[in-house]
A and B are shown apart, each in its own frame.
Chain A
Amino acid sequence: MSMIDFQVIAASGEVSLFPLHLLGMFFGSLGLVFFLGAAVGLIRFPDFYTRMHAAGKGDTLSTMLMLTGFGLVTMEDFSLGSWLLFVKIMGVVLFIFIASPTVSHVLMRAASEDDEMPLTEADGKKSSNKGKKRN
């Protein structure tokens, strides 16, 4: 195969699939924006529980969006191999969609059974009642 053939094939592939790549880049940038929100929330929020809100939600959606975006960007031709790659990446997305809320629930439960204090006064009362009941 000569160089010109190769360039023609590359150019045709690039042109025909350009909207797909653009969609993938859009998803990736959107994921970065949401990760920015999660990171700023992780710095600014006052106590552990509210930081958990920022991390649990922002992390889930931004990871899903970025991986989907890269799955679309690496979709060069619609051959079997690239479809398998896309399905694998969507498998990672599905796993994170299930695992990330579970991790946040586990950390939340471990912290609430510890001596960690919630923020407001009502929470303080409830948690102290719980502690008395349990011990």
Chain B
Amino acid sequence: MYPVAVFLLLFLNWVVLSGKFDAFHLGLGVVSCLIVTYLSHDLLYHDRKKGLERRLLEAWSFLRYLPWIIWEVVKANLHVFKLAMTKEGYEEMSPRVVTFETYLKTDFAKFVLANSITLTPGTITMLIRGDVFHVHTMSQFLEDDLLTGAIERKVAEVFEPESLKKT
């Protein structure tokens, strides 16, 4: 199943980038996508034990996760704009480093969590060592918001729902 999924993704990429629909170009696309799939189909999708339904569920919940993260990006930009433009915002700035430990297991979930932390207002992931995240924050109240773990819960809802049920 997974090689077929990789082939379909590559072929979709080919069609979008080439933009020609005659038999010659589509045939070239099929041949080259087959070669690439044969050579390197084990690079994408690390965990091969999950079934198709689980993957589709993940994709659907990831689509529901996207509007929230986009709204967070807009809030983060308004925060940066306020800090850069006004004098009061500039004075309230107090950068420091916060350390916390996550319960997410897989590497991909950690990657999504790190990128989400970077995109939420006032925080940037600085260093990840195993389960420990070092986060650089801009001001005090945003830091409290981070430590309650709202972002972590959002990511865990998408990728590891079983870790939420335990706690």
Contact = CB atoms under 8 A, between A and B. Distances in A.
A–B touching in complex (CB under 8 Å): yes
Interface stretch (B22-30, B45-53, B69-77): B69-77
A126 B94 CA distance: 15
Interface residues of B, number: 30
Interface stretch (A7-15, A21-29, A55-63): A55-63
Contacts of B84: 37-38, 40-41, 44-45, 54
Interface string B111-147: 0001100110010111100000010101000000000
B12 to A, nearest CB: 10
Interface in B60-75: 73-74
A119 to B, nearest CB: 5
A37 B77 contact: yes
Given A53-B122, A109-B126, A120-B96, A81 B19 contact: yes
A91 B16 contact: yes
A57 B17 contact: no
Interface string B2-16: 000000000000001
B161 interface: no
A87 B12 CA distance: 11
A108 B125 contact: yes
Interface in A32-67: 33-34, 37-38, 40-41, 44-45, 47, 49-50, 52-54, 56-58, 60-62
